[in-house]
C-alpha cells in the first residue's frame, strides 16, 4: 500500500476521537440553540468546558481536540469570505465605509491602550479589541490563531473573550433596538447602528429583522463589511508579530493560508461563478466548523484558569462595547447616515 495512504489513514485514526468529540458537542450546542434560543457559540464553549479531561495529553482525544481548535477553526474562518462581495462593499457609500473603518480602528486601538493601562498584555488587548471591533467570537478565534503562543494563558484569554463578547452581543441584540427607537433613528440608520456595533453576525440579523426588513438587510450588510476587515487586521498582526520574533529585523512575510483563502473566496463570490446553493452550503459548513472549533477550545480551557482573568478584563470588554456604540451613534447623527 502507498506510504502516503498509510500516513493519511494513521493521521485520521489519531485525530478521529477528538474530532468526533468536538462535533458531538457542536451538535448538542446546536440542539440547545434551536430549541431554547441560546447563542450556539456560547453553548458550544460552555459544554466543551465540561469535558476538559478530553484535552489531557494522555487521552486519545487530545490530538483531535487540538486539531479542531486550530486547523478546523482556520478552515471555517476562510469559508466566511463567501458571505461578502466587492459589489456590496462598493455600494455601501463612503460615509458607511468610513464609519466601519474608523470604528474598527478606534476599538482595536482602545483595546490595546486599556490593556496596557490595566497591566495586561498587548495580545490580550488585540484579542479583546479585535473581537469587539470586527465579529465577536469568529474574530477572537482568527486573531488568536496568528498571535504568538504564550502557553495555556492564551487559550484561557481566548475562551474568556468568546464568552464575554457573546454575552454582550446577546444583551446588545435586546437593548440596541430600544436605544435606537428612543433616539428616533430611521430604519436605515437603525440598521447601520446595529450592524456597526453588535459583535456577532447572528445577533445582528436577529436584532435587525425584529425592527423591519430594511433594518435587517442594512444591518446584515454593514456587519459583513466589518467582517471583511478581518483580512487586513489578521495580515497586519501576522506581519508585526513575525517581525518582532525576528528581533525587529525585516523577514519574509508569510500570510496565514486561511487569510489568503478568505480573500480568495471574497473574490470568487464577487464574480458570481459559485452557484448560490453551493455558497449557502459552504457558509453552513463554515458555521459548523467554527462551532466545533469553539467546542474544542472549551475542552482546552478550565474554569479555574478562566477565573484568573479577573473583573478588570470584564470591565475592559464592556468599556470597548460602550465606546463602539457611542462612536457609531455620534457618527450617524453628525453625518446624517
Quick: pLDDT tens for 138-161.
Answer: 788 888 888 877 666 777 888 888
Helices (H) and strands (E) in the chain, counts: 17, 0
Over residues 209-231, mean pLDDT: 79
Contacts of 295 (CB under 8 A, 6+ apart): 22, 23, 25, 26, 29, 44, 45, 47, 48, 68
Q: Based on the structure, what is the number of domains in the chain?
A: 1
Assign 252 a pLDDT band (cuts: 50, 70, 90): very low
Over residues 203-221, mean pLDDT: 76
Whether 5 is in a domain gets the answer: no
Whether 225 is in a domain gets the answer: yes
Name the DSSP class of 53. Answer: G
Whether 102 is in a domain gets the answer: yes
Whether 4 is in a domain gets the answer: no
Name the DSSP class of 148. Answer: P
Over residues 2-26, mean pLDDT: 77
Given this model, what pLDDT does residue 108 score? Answer: 95
Given this model, what pLDDT does residue 259 score? Answer: 67
- Of 1 and 69, the structure prediction assigns the larger pLDDT to 69
Whether 89 is in a domain gets the answer: yes
Name the DSSP class of 132. Answer: I
Exposed (0-12), middle (13-18) or buried (19+): which is 4, by Cβ within 10 Å?
A: exposed
Assign 136 a pLDDT band (cuts: 50, 70, 90): confident
Look up the domain containing 305 and give its range: 11-335
Whether 3 is in a domain gets the answer: no
Contacts of 214 (CB under 8 A, 6+ apart): 187, 188, 191
Interatomic CA distance for residues 102 and 34, integer angstroms: 35
pLDDT surpasses 50 at 249:
no
Whether 305 is in a domain gets the answer: yes
Given this model, what pLDDT does residue 243 score? Answer: 61
Over residues 301-324, mean pLDDT: 79
Interatomic CA distance for residues 143 and 147, integer angstroms: 6
Whether 200 is in a domain gets the answer: yes
Q: What is the mean pLDDT of the chain?
A: 81
Given this model, what pLDDT does residue 210 score? Answer: 72
What are the φ and ψ backbone dihedral angles of 249, each rounded to 5 degrees? -80, 145
Amino acid at each position: 500500500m502507498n506510504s502516503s495512504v498509510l500516513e493519511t489513514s494513521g493521521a485520521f485514526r489519531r485525530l478521529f476521537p477528538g474530532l468526533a468529540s468536538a462535533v458531538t458537542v457542536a451538535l448538542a450546542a446546536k440542539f440547545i440553540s434551536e430549541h431554547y434560543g441560546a447563542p450556539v457559540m456560547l453553548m458550544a464553549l460552555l459544554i466543551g468546558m465540561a469535558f476538559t479531561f478530553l484535552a489531557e495529553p494522555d487521552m486519545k482525544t487530545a490530538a483531535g481536540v487540538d486539531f479542531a481548535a486550530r486547523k478546523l477553526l482556520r478552515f471555517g474562518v476562510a469559508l466566511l469570505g463567501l458571505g461578502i462581495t466587492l459589489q456590496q462593499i462598493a455600494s455601501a457609500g463612503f460615509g458607511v465605509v468610513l464609519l466601519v473603518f474608523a470604528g474598527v480602528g478606534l476599538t482595536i486601538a482602545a483595546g490595546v491602550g486599556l490593556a496596557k493601562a490595566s497591566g495586561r498584555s498587548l495580545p490580550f488587548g488585540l484579542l479583546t479589541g479585535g473581537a469587539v471591533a470586527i465579529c465577536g467570537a469568529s474574530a477572537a478565534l482568527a486573531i488568536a490563531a496568528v498571535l504568538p503562543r504564550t502557553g495555556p494563558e492564551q487559550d484561557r484569554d481566548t475562551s474568556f473573550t468568546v464568552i464575554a463578547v457573546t454575552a454582550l452581543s446577546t444583551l446588545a441584540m435586546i437593548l440596541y433596538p430600544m436605544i435606537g427607537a428612543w433616539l428616533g433613528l430611521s430604519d436605515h440608520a437603525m440598521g447601520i447602528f446595529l450592524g456597526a456595533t453588535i459583535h456577532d453576525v447572528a445577533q445582528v440579523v436577529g436584532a435587525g429583522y425584529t425592527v423591519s426588513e430594511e433594518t435587517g438587510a442594512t444591518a446584515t450588510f454593514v456587519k459583513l463589511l466589518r467582517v471583511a476587515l478581518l483580512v487586513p487586521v489578521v495580515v497586519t498582526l501576522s506581519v508585526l508579530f513575525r517581525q518582532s520574533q525576528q528581533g525587529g529585523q525585516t523577514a519574509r512575510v508569510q500570510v496565514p493560508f486561511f487569510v489568503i483563502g478568505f480573500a480568495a473566496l471574497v473574490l470568487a463570490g464577487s464574480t458570481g461563478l459559485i452557484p448560490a446553493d453551493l455558497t449557502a452550503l459552504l457558509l453552513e459548513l463554515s458555521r459548523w466548523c467554527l462551532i466545533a472549533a469553539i467546542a474544542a477550545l472549551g475542552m482546552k480551557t478550565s474554569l479555574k484558569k478562566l477565573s484568573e482573568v479577573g473583573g478588570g478584563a470584564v470591565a475592559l470588554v464592556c468599556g470597548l462595547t460602550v465606546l463602539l456604540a457611542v462612536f457609531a451613534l455620534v457618527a450617524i447623527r453628525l453625518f446624517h447616515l
